[in-house]
Chain A
Amino acid sequence: MSNQKKRIFQIEAFQNRVVVDPKYAEKTWKILEHAIHEIYNHNASGLSFEELYRNAYNMVLHKFGEKLYSGLVTTMTAHLKEISKSIEAAQGNLFLEELNRKWNDHNKALQMIRDILMYMDRTYIPDTHKTPVHELGLNLWRDNIIHSGKIQSRLLSTLLELVHRERTGEVIDRGLMRNIVKMLMDLGSSIYQEDFEKPFLEVSAEFYRGESQKFIECYDCGDSLKKAEIRLNEEIERVTHYLDAKSEGKITNVVEKEMIANHMMRLVHMENSGLVNMLLNDKHGDLGRMYNLFRRVPNGLAMIRDVMTSHLRETGKQLVTDAESLKDPVEYVQRLLDEKEKYDGIISLAFSNDKTFQNALNSSFEYFINLNSRSPEFISLFVDDKLRKGLKGVSEGDVEIILDKVMMIFRYLQEKDVFEKYYKQHLAKRLLSLIVKLKTACGYQYTSKLEGMFTDMKTSQDTMQGFCSSHPELTDGPTLVVQVLTTGSWPTQPSITCHLPFEMSALCEKFRSYYLGTHTDIKAIFGKGQKHELNVSTYQMCVLMLFNNADRLCYKEIEQGTAIPASDLKRCLQSMACVKGKNVLRKEPMSKDIGEDDSFFVNEKFASKFYKVKVGTVVAQKESEPEKQETRQRVEEDRKPQIEAAIVRIMKSRKVLDHNNIIAEVTKQLQSRFLANPTEIKKRIESLIEREFLERDNSDRKMYRYLA
């Protein structure tokens, strides 16, 4: 009874939840755990992907995601600890190989595990902010393998040892190195940097510090630089073979610092092999190497530049103050030119045309050339000398090159006016002496025309002064400037007469009465509303004057009014109606060429900021073929009497001579003036025979006889 009394009625709570098999989660996890074991033991081929994927899916679906995730961490960690032991046990060289093999295995396993647990990776992990499976696998590898006490230091020392061996010339397994370094990079850039790159850079710095010390003591500057260059290239190559590309800048920095920056002073100033020595001996290769290496370090180029500048200034100063070189101005300038050429060569070949070096070169030259106040005079003398010599044997191109070089030196001169003064003197002397020389070389007749030209200029000036003073009433009208030129002395075309406008012809008559002459260069006052002084040619003046009486003229009217030959008139109209800025006339229709039907009128809108406007004549495109022939013919015509005179002179003294010898003699006599053409000589002989100066020998037709 008491039992019954004690019985408490319990009402079972209504089960509204479906209770899943309490062992469900455990069972499912066992299947997955087993699969992970099999994967690590290379037995994956017996596993059903679908079954595993579905089981993992079901665990997440039934809220066992946490169990799945923590189970994965535990299982994977256990496997990695095993792997860690087997890597530790690897002996000597096998260590890296074992590490690499296990890393590859782990990656494959990780991929498979990730596939199976994909549903968890995609839904459960983002919702709970956990680490995704792949990343988790890498983190566990890092913590259990790479950072395990026995592996971490051994791995680092092995890697550094291999690099060292490669630096000392041994061949190492670069593929293996690349794989291991890649592993560190895959684990995260911070792992690569902390666990390898940083110590690698430190060890490298130490290595190169020692090596550069050795080099600098044993080798000269050029060789030390060669070694540094080789090392630099080796390191760059090493990066491409098995390091992270981002390491390139860092390791080259180390090499640059240890092998160049720290020894810059010593390298540059090294006795008998330093920079000055290289400059003196034009060692372009070494200089180029130095430039390229020093460019990589801060202030490296500035140092080369400073040393070059001070050396250049020193040598330049010696050159310009050296009493010996002052004796010969030509030699003096030649040495300056040589020095300039030498350094131009160095800068272009070794210093990759560096602008800052060019500036340093220029400032140095400017500095020392002006130390000697006679530099302008000497340069002028040098030019003078070259131009004189230029007549003999040096081609025009060569003279041109020399003059260009001199111009570069000329630019350094501060006292350019002094040069100008000297050059004027030298030019005058040269001109005069040239004419004197021509006279002595070719006779009075030869230079008379040249002298005539000088005389004409002078006489014209005097004549104009006389004309103006004798006609004081002319100051208001058009001003007339006449050059009276001796026909034949000047290379002008034969002047063709045209109808001069009334004003001009009246004026010309006045002048003609004062002096007989025709060809002119005339200034005309022109303009409506706005005044400009137009400087035009005679033809242009004639045309413009027509417009004083008419607003609009057609081509035919102008042609009739001026009687200028058609080709000249067209050119003249073109220059006044079609050239921008000088178009004092307008034409209709607007076009670039002048047609027979065009009409012209004054350009009312003509404007120019200048008061004086020079209207040029459109240049004829090319000397036409007949013109060329004409020039040529005239030259030939001039030569005929000279050849005949030579033949007569020769025959007069020889009496009898055969054809070939006459040709040879004549050619020789005339060669100072021109090269006589043998056919032309033959023609002249024929002509002389006809005029009975010579006769052919009756027995030998090739012999000529002189007839007194």
Chain B
Amino acid sequence: MGIQNDIVKFNVGGRIFQTTATTLANADRDSFFGALFDDNWDLKQPINGREFFIDRNPDCFAVLLDLLRTGDLYIPSNVPERLLYKEAMFYGLIGHVRSAKRGPFDGNRLKLSKPVTGRAPGDGTAIRAGPDGGCCVAYGSMVHVFDWMLEEHPPLNLDYQRVNDIGWVNAESVLISACERLGRGDSGMGLFSSYTGDLRYKFNVVHDNQIKSYTAGALCFSPDYKIFASCKGRSNEYGIGVWDQVTGKQIDFFYETPGWSLGEADKLQWLNGTTCLLVATLFPRKDNCYISLLDFRQKSTVWSWSDFGAPLTVDEKRARDAIAMEDCNSVCVVNEYEDLGFIDLRISGRSVRWSSRSRLMKGKMPDEPCYPKLALHNGQLFSSMNDSISVFCGPDWVLTSRLRRSYGGSICDFSIGGDRLFALHSEANVFDIWETPPTPVI
């Protein structure tokens, strides 16, 4: 055995570190260390026994060097997390830190990462997870944007109108739907930069070549770069508007038919792999529930379901949220007792098949009820109810986990994305972040 010749000596902020080119090769090509070495991971400029000086924090460097050595992230208490992220950004190792911090999302392994308290009055409307682990939260007329490090970006507002829904078009843009501003045609929806908070576009609704003011409700995006929104106009222009994400221009409008609600829909969902949009208007926004599947190619309703005219039973069950399942064969609904029900999408006129296995809390209502919400992620079904979120798995949707935190009041909205679950609480101005811990290292 000879003398190892790939040893590299660093002087970081006055502290000496010694490591090997092999260890540093675990960093990306696209990193500070990648730039130091050539394609064979030999130093581009030999330093002949001298150390390589870096004017950075040595404590953070130690943590990051260990990350490269072991693949494990351990942050000692004397190192602020924020500072470590900054340093990781400098070296171009932020991707390493992120993947070391959390594992792939699994509803049954979630751990509460941290609660985040905002400064807005406790009037949360919606929370949406961003594609890269950040989120945006709507409080009244303001939308607060956080990146994955939970650094807050400049807040967004659309003429300070009340926000109804928000959504991430991509990692850089957030869409806001808001209440109409009387007498102004340019209200409704706006697309903002998530970094700078700048307004990029406003989205107009045009009827008979006239721009109309409208209130935009639920939002949804399709993979072919379209934006869908439920719209309530001033003069009965109710329905679903369609816009192009790239140009911001309106490209279609689906008017609702009398006796059927589209313009006040609570939820829009694009069915991937089909050409259909699910539109659900639910109690208590309307007295009855209306769920329909729209095909925009022929402007037709290809499937619909409503509880209008159905006899009221003793234990009144009304759908409070609806979601199309991932196989697009059925719609899942949830009532105020967190009973899950399923409606077959392949045949029209089917009734709800309530699932008894997931019934949980018959008649046990808290003082201030919160309407349940549903979400799907990788074959797991999530349902929020009061102050907890239930996770259902398997073909029969068996309850497998429950996420609950003791304070903050009921969960008024939650969202999954970027390997995280965000839950917005209605009382205290706080949202929780749930993450899957990284896979344990043997």
Contact = CB atoms under 8 A, between A and B. Distances in A.
A291 interface: no
A127 B36 CA distance: 25
Given A49-B45, A50-B54, A118 B195 contact: no
B89 A123 contact: yes
Contact of B172 (A45, A54, A118, A127): A127
B58 interface: no
B303 interface: no
Contacts of A50: 52-55
B32 interface: yes
Given A54-B55, A118-B92, A49 B35 contact: yes
Contact of B35 (A54, A57, A118): A118
A186 B259 CA distance: 61
Interface residues of A, number: 14
Nearest to B45: A45
B208 interface: no
Q: How large is the interface on B (under 10, 10 to 19, 20 to 34, 35 or more residues)?
A: 10 to 19
B89 A118 contact: no
B30 A122 contact: yes
B90 interface: yes
A125 B32 CA distance: 17
A115 to B, nearest CB: 4
Interface string A108-136: 00000001101100110011000000000
A579 B371 CA distance: 77
A122 B54 CA distance: 20
B223 to A, nearest CB: 22
Nearest to B89: A123
B90 A119 contact: yes
Contacts of B30: 118, 122
Given A49-B45, A50-B52, A122-B30, A127 B35 contact: no
Contacts of A116: 35
A192 B172 CA distance: 34
Interface string B146-189: 00000000000000000000000000100000000000000000
A122 B92 contact: yes
Nearest to A123: B89
A606 interface: no
- Say what secondary structure dominates the interface of chain A: helix
A422 interface: no
A336 B53 CA distance: 94
Contacts of B55: 50, 54
B38 to A, nearest CB: 10
A45 B46 CA distance: 10
A101 B30 CA distance: 27
Contact of B195 (A45, A53, A127): A127
B89 A53 contact: no
B247 to A, nearest CB: 16
B35 to A, nearest CB: 4
Contacts of A115: 35
A54 B56 CA distance: 9
Contacts of A122: 30, 92
Nearest to B11: A50
B279 to A, nearest CB: 34
A50 B50 CA distance: 14
B202 to A, nearest CB: 20
A54 B35 CA distance: 13
Contacts of A57: 90
A49 B92 contact: no
B172 A53 contact: no
B91 to A, nearest CB: 9
Contacts of B45: 45, 49
B124 to A, nearest CB: 28
A585 B119 CA distance: 97
A49 B92 CA distance: 15
A476 B103 CA distance: 93
Nearest to B86: A61
A49 B195 CA distance: 29
Nearest to A116: B35
Interface in A42-77: 45, 49-50, 53-54, 57
Given A50-B55, A115-B35, A119-B92, 15 more contacts: A49-B35, A49-B44, A50-B52, A50-B53, A50-B54, A53-B32, A54-B55, A57-B90, A118-B32, A118-B92, A119-B89, A122-B30, A126-B172, A127-B172, A127-B196
16 contacts: A49-B35, A49-B36, A49-B45, A50-B52, A50-B53, A50-B54, A53-B32, A53-B35, A54-B54, A54-B55, A118-B32, A118-B35, A119-B89, A119-B92, A122-B92, A127-B195
Interface of B: 30-32, 35-36, 44-45, 52-55, 89-90, 92, 172, 195-196
Closest 3 CB pairs of A and B: A115-B35, A127-B195, A50-B54
